[in-house]
Amino acid sequence: MKYRFAERVRPLCQEGAYAVLARAKTLEAEGRDIIHLEIGQPDFPTPPFIAHAGAEAINKGRTNYTSPAGTRELRAAIAESAGAQRGITISPDQVIVGPGAKPALFYTVMALVEPGDQVIIPDPGFPSYEAIVRLAGGLPVPVKLDKNGLYNFDPDDLEASINSRTRLVILNSPSNPTGGVAPISLLEKIAELVKSVDGWIISDEIYSKLVYDGDAPSIAVIPGMTERTVIVDGFSKTYAMTGWRLGYGIMPAVLAERMELLLTHSVGCTAEFTQAAGISALLGDQSAVAAMRDSFRKRRDLTAAALNSIPGVKCALPPGAFYLFPDVSSFRLKSRKIADYLLSEAGVALLAGSDFGKSGEGFLRISYATSLEHLQEAIERMRAALARL
């Protein structure tokens, strides 16, 4: 049979992290010893008190459908804690819960973008942004991150790209893949530009609690911005809950009503017991989050220093997330080639910067969400392999 698929799904590609993970798993199945620095997920288990709350909810029969937008209790807990974290007032009606942060990204774009609308995305940036914008029929407009300014949008580049057809600007601070954090002065400039074209912001703040130096302000705190901003955040990274699938969006209540309908007619709702675990995560003791953050900071410092000791590699010390984005352009090879070489020759799985957009060429993305022991071994393997290039 000749299969024919809709035009909207034909251009979709796999995300680099999943593709490299699959290749690394094949090598492991052949007996190779692989160190995984490709996937962006904490190596810590979900803190036990959160896991117990989820298990207890299952045992008590909390395995039913909930309201598509999430349980009242979880929406209230998110409104309270996300508001306190950012110093703004959020009502539960503004909160939409979904299975991960990705649905909040996806449905916001579906709700706001008309075919032909332009959407500014960071380059390099999280690959799903471009895929989602294209699925909605929008036109992604990549704006380069300023490599000297710790990987933030260059406001001049942004100003040159923004126009009356710009519907939405997607921000991600702290950033995947660079770990860069946007200071409030930059966010103020972006806010002015977005207001001038009557546009919207998606502020993907999924790494908002993984900041090691200073803080990561939200653009939503700038006067006049809450009414045109959707904050996207979740539990995957902060609480080591990637597989639980729990995230949320915070937005004007009128948009939340539309989003609830999109959830109703797609996923239906998020698992009730997962939502119970989320309440316990937000209301419980936050020391596990602080302990994970301390551990990430230590890994970041040691790994960046070790990378800088490899001839030909230059690595900045990013203030947030759990990624390093070393510059390997001195090897004069495509970053995809270097990443493939390191996987096959050194057994180190990591991502090419170009997996995140054209401007990522010349860089590698390393997730340091793994043990120090693995990180040290990976660096030594990289040092030896890169010396042979």
Ligand X SMILES: Cc1ncc(COP(=O)(O)O)c(C=O)c1O
Is residue 16 near ligand X by the rule CB under 6 A?
A: no
Minimum gap (Å) between residue 264 Cβ and ligand X: 19
Question: Whose CA is closest to 353, among 209, 215, 175, 210?
Answer: 175
CA distances from 30 to 34, 39, 67, 131 (A): 11, 20, 46, 33
Residue 377's Cβ-side half-sphere holds a number of Cα atoms within 13 Å equal to 14
104's tokens: 């909040």
Q: Which is nearer to ligand X, 273 or 323 (CB)?
A: 323
Minimum gap (Å) between residue 292 Cβ and ligand X: 16
Concatenating the DSSP letter of every residue in 27-55 gives: HHHTT---EE-SS-S-SSPPPHHHHHHHH
Out of 34, 35, 40, 130, which residue is the one contacting ligand X (CB under 6 A)?
40
Sign of the Cα torsion 81, 226, 141, 181 reads negative
Q: Which is nearer to ligand X, 273 or 385 (CB)?
A: 273
Is residue 270 near ligand X by the rule CB under 6 A?
A: no
DSSP 8-state secondary structure symbol assigned to residue 175: P
Minimum gap (Å) between residue 245 Cβ and ligand X: 7
Concatenating the DSSP letter of every residue in 74-124 gives: HHHHHHHHHHHHHT----GGGEEEESSSHHHHHHHHHHHPPTT-EEEEEES
Binding part of the chain for ligand X, among 97-105, 142-150, 223-231, 252-260 by CB under 6 A, reads: 97-105
Q: What is the spatial distance between Cα 76 and Cα 94, in angstroms, rounded to a whole number?
A: 10
Question: Whose CA is closest to 203, among 180, 184, 179, 229?
Answer: 229
Binding part of the chain for ligand X, among 20-28, 82-90, 96-104, 291-299 by CB under 6 A, reads: 96-104
Out of 234, 278, 326, 347, which residue is the one contacting ligand X (CB under 6 A)?
234
Q: Which residues contact 376 (CB under 8 A, 6 or more apart)?
A: 302, 306
Burial label, 6 (beta-carbon count in 10 A; 0-12, 13-18, 19+): exposed
**Contact track, ligand X, 185-204, x by CB under 6 A:** -------------------x
Is residue 180 near ligand X by the rule CB under 6 A?
A: no
Q: Which is nearer to ligand X, 204 or 272 (CB)?
A: 204
Q: Which is nearer to ligand X, 234 or 326 (CB)?
A: 234
Instruction: Select the residue whose beta carbon is closest to ligand X and give its number.
Output: 100
Question: Whose CA is closest to 102, among 279, 234, 291?
Answer: 234
Q: Which is nearer to ligand X, 208 or 347 (CB)?
A: 208
**Contact track, ligand X, 101-140, x by CB under 6 A:** xx-----------------------x--------------
Is residue 271 near ligand X by the rule CB under 6 A?
A: no
Ramachandran sector of residue 179 (left: φ over 0; alpha: ψ -120 to 50; beta: rest): left
Is residue 206 near ligand X by the rule CB under 6 A?
A: yes
Binding part of the chain for ligand X, among 188-196, 234-242, 295-303, 376-384 by CB under 6 A, reads: 234-242
Question: Whose CA is closest to 241, among 49, 103, 78, 25?
Answer: 49
Residues 280/53, Cβ–Cβ less than 8 Å? yes
Is residue 172 near ligand X by the rule CB under 6 A?
A: yes
Q: Which is nearer to ligand X, 172 or 295 (CB)?
A: 172
Q: Which is nearer to ligand X, 236 or 379 (CB)?
A: 236
Is residue 228 near ligand X by the rule CB under 6 A?
A: no
Is residue 100 near ligand X by the rule CB under 6 A?
A: yes
Binding part of the chain for ligand X, among 94-102, 223-231, 333-341, 355-363 by CB under 6 A, reads: 94-102
Is residue 176 near ligand X by the rule CB under 6 A?
A: yes
Q: Which is nearer to ligand X, 242 or 376 (CB)?
A: 242
271's tokens: 């698992």
Q: What is the spatial distance between Cα 69 and Cα 98, in angstroms, rounded to a whole number?
A: 7
Out of 81, 85, 161, 242, which residue is the one contacting ligand X (CB under 6 A)?
242
Question: Whose CA is closest to 162, among 201, 106, 132?
Answer: 201
Query: Which residues of this chain interact with ligand X, rule CB under 6 A?
Result: 40, 100-102, 126, 172, 176, 204, 206, 234, 236, 242, 247
